[in-house]
């Protein structure tokens, strides 16, 4: 029997699974963060080491029983990141084959039946990637606006604040943001909100994250400015997805686009419809779906892909029963 390990590493927690090649998950555990950009490369190594030791112990296996290890890690962005991560993985995994990838990929694989397609991530930040049928992987740098990045709930929140104050000063179309945004944040007026932002920015992060859902609600209620914000952001994200599709020579072909991130749970369709329109204009056979499995399942499936193994429909159903969202 062959065994594989999959890691889903993030800024707050890391999940690790060990399974056989028939969809049976023998160990499934969680530990702390593993994003080296936040906690440092030594702490990342400690987190991975702890999880590796524990899943092997739970499954009563040794490291040399493992055929492949796939790691989807937040912070795996630039060549310098991969150099550091590969170095510690080589130390941890010895002679076992492994692959390090950005965590966006495992979200894609958790929502596809085959190891190709595209992924659009839109949560606090945004990213996009595409893998063609030959296995070529293209992904955005997604580092900052100045470096070509765009999108995410933080940008929606910034636009909402911008247009709330413009509405108040009569420099743009009137928007319910002017009154509803302070109320939504338990403030009595837009002046109170102003004092949370200027001269010193002291708006709580928890309050900041409440803003995008309000934009979606107001857009649903007919607020033209909120609709405009979401349509504009959706079009940009569509352009980002088209960019990686073009890099992967997938424009015009048939492929799934997996949608991951909190913004895709918004209650009005303006964002997602605008994004789809941009993608479908160039690739009318594209389909869109949400991941049904935990991201770590994508890491496990990628490990099987690298061994040129595929689960049967029955085995995939069994995997879903163990690692469903």
Q: Are 284 and 136 in a shared domain?
A: yes
Q: How many domains does the chain have?
A: 2
Q: Are 200 and 126 in a shared domain?
A: yes
For 170-208, write each residue's pLDDT tens digit: 999 999 999 999 999 999 999 999 999 999 999 999 999
The position carrying tokens 């709930």 is 153
Q: Are 68 and 107 in a shared domain?
A: yes
Q: Are 176 and 285 in a shared domain?
A: yes
Q: How many CB atoms lie within 10 A of CB 198?
A: 9
Which CATH number fits the domain that encloses residue 299? 3.30.420.40
Q: Which pLDDT score is estimated for 289? A: 95
Q: Are 273 and 151 in a shared domain?
A: yes
Q: Are 107 and 125 in a shared domain?
A: no
| pLDDT at position 320 over 90 | yes
Report how far residue 23's alpha carbon sits from residue 312's, in angstroms, rounded to the nearest whole number: 9
Please state the pTM of the whole predicted model. 0.93
Q: For the purposes of burial, counting CB atoms within 10 Å of the CB of 64, is it exposed (0-12), middle (13-18) or buried (19 or more)?
A: exposed
Report how far residue 157's alpha carbon sits from residue 229's, in angstroms, rounded to the nearest whole number: 10
Q: What's the mean pLDDT when you consider all of the chain?
A: 96
Q: Are 259 and 154 in a shared domain?
A: yes
Q: Are 153 and 270 in a shared domain?
A: yes
State the average pLDDT over residues 211-236: 98
Q: Are 304 and 285 in a shared domain?
A: no
Q: Are 308 and 271 in a shared domain?
A: no
Q: Tell me which residue range forms the domain holding 63.
A: 3-111+292-323
For 50-106, write each residue's pLDDT tens digit: 999 999 999 999 999 999 999 999 999 999 999 999 999 999 999 999 999 999 999
Report how far residue 57's alpha carbon sits from residue 108's, in angstroms, rounded to the nearest whole number: 29
Sorted by sequence, the CB contacts under 8 Å of residue 127 that are 6+ apart come out as: 102, 104, 119, 120, 121, 139, 140, 142, 240
Compare 1 and 309 and report the one with higher pLDDT: 309
Using DSSP's 3-state secondary structure scheme, residue 190 falls into: helix
């Amino acid at each position: 029997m062959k065994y594989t390990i999959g890691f889903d590493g993030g800024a707050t927690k890391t999940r690790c699974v060990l399974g056989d090649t028939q969809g049976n998950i023998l160990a499934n555990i969680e530990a702390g963060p593993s994003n080296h950009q936040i906690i440092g490369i030594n702490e990342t190594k400690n987190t991975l080491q702890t999880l590796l030791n524990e899943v092997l112990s739970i499954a009563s296996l040794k490291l040399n029983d493992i055929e492949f290890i796939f790691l989807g890690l937040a912070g795996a962005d630039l060549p310098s990141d991969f150099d550091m991560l590969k170095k510690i993985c080589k130390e941890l995994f010895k002679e076992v084959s492994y692959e390090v990838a950005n965590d966006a990929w495992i979200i894609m694989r958790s929502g596809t039946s085959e190891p190709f397609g595209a992924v659009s991530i839109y949560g606090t930040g945004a990213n996009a990637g595409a893998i063609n049928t030959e296995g070529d992987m293209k992904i955005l740098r997604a580092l900052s606006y100045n470096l070509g990045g765009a999108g995410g709930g933080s940008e929606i929140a910034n636009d909402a604040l911008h247009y709330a104050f413009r509405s108040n000063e009569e420099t743009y179309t009137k928007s319910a943001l002017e009154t509803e945004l302070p109320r939504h944040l338990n403030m009595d007026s837009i002046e109170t909100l102003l004092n949370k932002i200027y001269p010193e920015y002291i708006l709580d992060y928890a309050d900041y994250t409440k803003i995008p859902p309000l934009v979606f609600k107001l857009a649903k209620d007919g607020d033209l400015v909120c609709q405009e914000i979401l349509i504009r952001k959706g079009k940009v994200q569509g352009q980002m997805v088209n960019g990686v599709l073009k890099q992967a020579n997938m424009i015009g072909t048939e492929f799934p686009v997996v949608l991951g991130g909190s913004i895709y749970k918004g209650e009005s369709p303006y964002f997602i419809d605008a994004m789809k329109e941009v993608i479908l204009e160039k690739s009318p056979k594209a389909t869109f779906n949400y991941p049904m499995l935990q991201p770590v399942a994508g890491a496990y499936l990628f490990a099987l892909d690298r061994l040129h193994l595929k689960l049967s429909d029955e085995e995939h159903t069994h995997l879903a029963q163990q690692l469903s969202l």
